A and B are shown apart, each in its own frame.
Chain A
């Protein structure tokens, strides 16, 4: 094989690779669009009026996840399944956002931490790598961390909206989450960086709970229950 043959062989390989990436990028763009739509829906819970019809908003978000599932099904056809990590960077960001949105919806519905299996189910993907397009554990954890900062925001806004009970529940939940993350031995990677932000969310929520307790508002909420 001559030198120029070798290079044109490699060139063929590289341009095929680029075509695949181009295809993936297109689908991911649509996915990001849908993710933003879902975010707009669930973000309205921060509005004072939004607290009243949380179930309604969750239903709407769940409907939009149907669109997400069709796009992800489309994405799965764009590349060989055993090369997931080759193109991982392209959908990593959007998958973390979608995990966050799914986790947030599940929290609003049941006030529980979404499991990795549930996220995979909502997005119609797998948990185990061998079975196909899956949710990487680090992406799942990153999504959960995004939710934590959203919850600290929700704690503040629920007080403004007059819901004094919610911050206490959020506080318990976040504390649980924090002790969960403390079990992990994280490397010095993006996930670790994001985890470092969790303590500020915890602190923020604790401050809200403190403000409520010192004014006796927390007690009031308790007796309301």
Chain B
């Protein structure tokens, strides 16, 4: 017994270290350092989560705007829908303003993954609305020009100088590109549904516009980010559908009375789909 006690003694030193592990005391420089890291990491993760949440909101609202915009084909008063979409989009921009606020003073690329999905969806919605209104592609500058926010009233809360400051959100070219790639899918849907309403001109305009975009993407090729080349495949499918639709209109359009056109068209489309799946 005595001997054991004697043996236990030299190990006291080791035990002291174990003890400090059980209840970390601030005196250890290692623990003190890790407390700092803990705070730093937690702050970063919290910010990331907030951005993800904002990005989700942006995605959902943008998707709803796109659904709304698809109704233009079936409603006589297109302008009213476009104005309603404007209202929705300015709500989305408000959210993006919050994202910009979160990113103030940060390296925007550090948190890029948190909000890229939302921004892409916004680009899709904004460019879709722009196309319906102006029949042209919205430029990156035009998108960025709208993402300028004033934070005057909040400014006096956190900064002593109550002068309003301007924050801008810059959409990255890669996000813009991916958003435009998604836009083509919406345009394809717009094309098909506009035929359903007996609109003969829109499909031809759309096929021309889609071809231009397709040429643009082929020009970029694989210099872009990896996701772009993935989307290029889907883009090709959309273009194929629209081109086929135009072909059908041209060939059969002159033969069939206008009111029956939609029927012919939709039936052709349905048995076109399985073919597409094989390609």
Measured CB to CB, the residues of A under 8 A from B are: 1-4, 6-11, 13-15, 18, 82-86, 88, 112-113, 115-116, 129, 137-138, 141, 168, 171-172, 175-187, 209, 213, 218-219, 222-223
Contacts and interface: CB of A to CB of B under 8 A. Distances in A.
Interface of B is mostly: helix
A138 B41 CA distance: 8
Given A14-B173, A15-B223, A222-B10, A86 B109 contact: yes
Contacts, number: 121
B33 A115 contact: yes
B24 interface: yes
Interface stretch (B12-20, B67-75, B253-261, B264-272): B12-20
Residue from A83, A115, A176, A179 having most chain B Cβ neighbours under 10 A:
A179
A180 B10 contact: no
Contact of A137 (B30, B37, B139, B174): B37
A110 to B, nearest CB: 12
A141 B18 CA distance: 22
Nearest to B209: A3
B223 to A, nearest CB: 5
Contact of B41 (A178, A184, A222): A184
Given A88-B109, A180-B34, A184-B41, 14 more contacts: A2-B212, A3-B209, A3-B216, A6-B139, A11-B220, A14-B174, A85-B110, A171-B17, A177-B30, A180-B24, A183-B35, A184-B34, A185-B45, A218-B11
B107 A129 contact: yes
A179 B38 contact: no
A15 B45 CA distance: 32
Interface of A is mostly: helix
Report the 5 A-B pairs with minimum CB-CB distance, sorted nearest first.
A7-B216, A180-B34, A85-B109, A85-B110, A86-B109
A137 B40 contact: yes
B34 A183 contact: yes
A223 B9 CA distance: 12
B48 to A, nearest CB: 8
Contacts of B169: none
Given A3-B209, A10-B173, A219-B7, A179 B107 contact: no
Nearest to B223: A14
